[in-house]
Amino acid sequence: MSMIRSAIREISLNLHSKPGARFITLLMVALAFIVFDTFLIISWNLQGIMDQEENLVGMEVFLERHVSTAQGRLIGDNISIMQDVKSVYFVSSQEAEALFRAELPGRAGLLDVMGSDFTLPASLQIVFQAEAINQGRISELSRQIGAMAGVDNTVYGEDYLPGLIKTVTTIRRLVLLLGIVLVSSISLVVFYTVRLSVVRRSLTVDIMRIVGAPWWFIRIPFVVEGIFMGVTGSAGGLAMAAVISKVLSSAVTHRFMPMWWMILVILLGAVTGVVGALAGSYEKER
Amino acid sequence: MLVTMENVRLSYGRWPALDKIDVEIKQGEFLVISGPSGAGKTTLLRLIWMGDIPDSGIVEVTGFRSDRIRKRELPKLRRKIGIVFQDFRLLHSRTIFDNVALPLQVTGTGKRVIQKRVISLLARMGLSHRRNAFPHELSGGEQQRVAIARAMVAHPVILLADEPTGNLDPEVSREVVELLLEINRGGTTVVMATHDPRQVPAGKGRFLFLEKGVLRGADRWTELDEES
């Protein structure tokens, strides 16, 4: 019990020593995290834009004129249970006409010219699961749906879909690559900063080991310090990034990163802080 | 035997620091290891507290053998050894009391026992009035006495003193050596490394002379004395 009390005392003494040096270390960690946080905010917003674009990728299925509303809904039900189909919305003939008049008011006269017997065909608007959005899969779905009874033809963005898919895939790969580079860099920055801070107190480690302190007793103050510096530094970086984001929000519309990303950032700080502190104290082991 | 070294060899890289070392140290002995700078005195002491492990040969200290000791056993060995350095190695952010109490705190000794032992030891060292001071507020001699108090507080069976007078003036050096002799009279084995063996009066201890990592015999210091 007194050993644990002594260890807690050591932790407290360690955290209270050299406040100036600790502040500089924290500032270094926080600054490194601001760069990372900025990248995360940009990625998060880019992700939102790409999701929006992908949600626009869908298919319009025009039904044959003789297909009744009930039959149309039945075809819709059959399509909705197909793999990779997220949702199906039935647009009746009357709804199609209303939409036409609302969206193209300048051309509404065309419908009147066609006469009262003319009706726009009913259709089905299909949205796909995000993971199904690739040229091959959508072509296949178009072929399957087009072959169904009552379906006149199918329309999807054959002309822009390959370009969109390529762009989105390339951006995602770049973001991932940049993310890996940044996580590695920030881990190294925090690792070396904390390690340096521990090595700076190598006299304490030396004295502890010559007086016979067990290894856990020597390390635990540094591990706690590593966690403290990692968590405080990353949280500080997040706070500063939030302030910058707020200041820039009127000029550039964007969202801050979600809560679970923030938790991961703080965890990254804690883990790299602990690893740095352990590495610093291991160097003085024997 | 408290310490036994059998045909010990240790190199730092390609540089042989110690070679063919055979030493036995008995309980209650005062051993002076002398020799010029770079002779291997500090390395020999490091082998005793197992800060280094020999490349070949065996060092045995209070039952712990260098070829068998595990990393987690090193603190147990070091609790039986007190170490004093030329540069004192005190923690400057802690008071004199806390510096002396450190070996007891790290082993989980109770607060009352720590209080009693540290206060009594500081009184013995003539440092009671400085117990709340910080190391930088003390003279070199006082700092070395604090370091000796820290080394002695856990009742070690062996006290290693590595050039304990290296940073002190002759008068204070004599006081420190007298303090080490007094500790030895109390039954603690003392091993003192020094470049100047004349600091210890003849007849007060056993003398070994190291030169370029090799033991040159016990009487070399006397020859040096005669030469000078």
pLDDT in tens, A21-42: 888 888 988 998 999 999 999 9
Query: What pLDDT band is residue A285 in, cutting at 50, 70 and 90?
Result: low
Judged by a CB distance cut-off of 8 A, whether residue B155 touches chain A is: no
Instruction: State the Cα–Cα distance between residues A244 and A138, nearest whole angstrom.
Output: 42
Tell me which residue of A135, A150, A8 sits closest to A68, measured CA to CA. A150
Distance CA(B59)–CA(B7), nearest Å, equals 9
Which has more pLDDT, A197 or B32?
Answer: B32
Q: Where are the domains of chain A?
A: 2-51+165-282, 58-156
CB contact under 8 A, B91 and A203: yes
Top-confidence residue, B161 or A169: B161
Confidence at A20, pLDDT banded by 50, 70, 90: confident
Q: Residue B57 sits in a domain of what CATH number? A: 3.40.50.300
Asked if B113 and B221 sit in the same domain, the reply is: no
Q: Give the per-residue pLDDT at A232.
A: 93
B101 → chain A, closest CA residue: A211
The minimum CA-CA distance between B79 and chain A, rounded to whole Å, is: 5
> Does one domain contain both B143 and B37?
no
pLDDT at B225: 53
A210 within 8 A of B99, measured Cβ to Cβ: no
Looking at the fold, whether B125 and B22 belong to one and the same domain comes out as no
Q: Do B51 and A286 touch (CB under 8 A)?
A: yes
Question: CB-based contact (8 Å) between A202 and chain B?
Answer: no
Say if residue B66 is in the same domain as residue B169: yes
- What are the tokens at A73? 């809904």
CATH of domain A58-156: 3.30.70.3040
Both tokens assigned to A43: 């990625």
Residue with tokens 């804690």: A270
Closest CB from B74, B76, B102 relative to A207: B102
d(CA A284, CA A84): 58
What is the C-alpha radius of gyration for chain B, rounded to an integer number of angstroms?
Answer: 17
The pair of three-digit structure tokens given for residue A215, joined into one six-digit string = 């290894």
**Whether B22 and B111 share a structural domain:** no
Query: Does some domain include residue B56?
Result: yes
Please write down the HEC assignment for all residues of A118-179: CCCCCEEEEEECHHHCCHHHHHHHHHHHHCCCCEEEEEECCCCHHHHHHHHHHHHHHHHHHH
In a domain, B86, yes or no: no
How far off is chain B from A280, nearest CA to CA, in Å?
18
**DSSP element (H, E) containing A209:** helix A202-210
The DSSP bridge pattern shows strands B206-211 and B30-34 to be parallel
- Tell me how far apart the terminal alpha carbons of chain A are, to the nearest angstrom: 26
Domain end (from B138, B155, B172): B155
State how far the Cα of A54 lies from the Cα of A129, in Å rounded to an integer.
9
Domain that holds residue B139: 91-155
pTM summary value: 0.71
The verdict on residue B102 lying in a domain is yes
Rounded Cα gap, residues B224 and B228, in angstroms: 6
In this complex, do A215 and B108 lie within 8 Å of one another by their Cβ atoms? Answer: no
Q: Is residue B71 domain-shared with residue B96, that is, in the same domain? A: no
Query: What is the DSSP pairing of strand A151-156 with strand B158-162?
Result: unpaired
Is B212 found in the same domain as B100? no
Burial category of B36 from C-beta neighbours within 10 Å (exposed 0-12, middle 13-18, buried 19 and up): exposed
Question: If you average pLDDT over every residue of chain A, what do you get?
Answer: 86
> Is it the case that residue A134 has pLDDT exceeding 80?
no
Residue A133 has pLDDT above 80, yes or no: no
Domain boundary among B155, B185, B211: B155
* pLDDT of res. A286: 46
Say how many domains are in chain B.
2
Neighbours of A285 (CB within 10 A): 12
The Cα B71–Cα B83 span in angstroms is 19
d(CA A255, CA A44): 8
Any domain includes B85 = no
pLDDT in the model for residue B228: 47
Same domain, yes or no: B182 and B69:
yes
The C-alpha torsion from B46 through B47 and B50 to B52, rounded to 10°, is 80
| pLDDT tens column, A229-284 | 899 999 999 999 999 999 988 888 888 999 999 999 999 999 988 888 888 777 65
- Answer yes or no: do B108 and B149 share one domain: yes
Hey, are the CB atoms on B106 and A6 less than 8 Å from each other? Answer: yes
**For strand A151-156 and strand A58-63, is the pairing parallel, antiparallel, or unpaired?**
antiparallel
The residues that bridge with A174 in the sheet, in sequence order, are none
Domain boundary residue, one of B124, B155, B186: B155
Region class of B212: left (phi > 0), else alpha (psi between -120 and 50), else beta: left
Q: What is the pLDDT of residue B220?
A: 46
For residue B179, give both structure tokens. 């303090």
Looking at the structure, do residues B63 and B28 belong to the same domain, yes or no? yes
Question: What pLDDT is attached to residue A114?
Answer: 81
* Pair (B11, B73) in one structural domain: yes
Task: Number of helices (H) and strands (E) in chain B: give both, helices first.
Answer: 7, 10
Whether A211 and B78 lie within 8 Å, measured CB to CB: yes
- Residues A75-131: pLDDT tens digits? 999 999 998 888 999 999 888 888 888 888 888 788 788 877 788 889 999 988 877
Which residues, 6 or more positions from A209, have their beta carbon under 8 angstroms from its beta carbon?
Answer: A218, A284, A285, B74, B75, B78
If asked whether residues B66 and B97 sit together in one domain, one would say no
In the numeric block, the tokens 């929000």 are attached to: A249
DSSP for A29-66, written as a single string: HHHHHHHHHHHHHHHHHHHHHHHHHHHH-EEEEEEPTT
Q: Residue B103 has what pLDDT?
A: 94
Q: Which residues of chain B have pLDDT under 50?
A: 219-221, 228
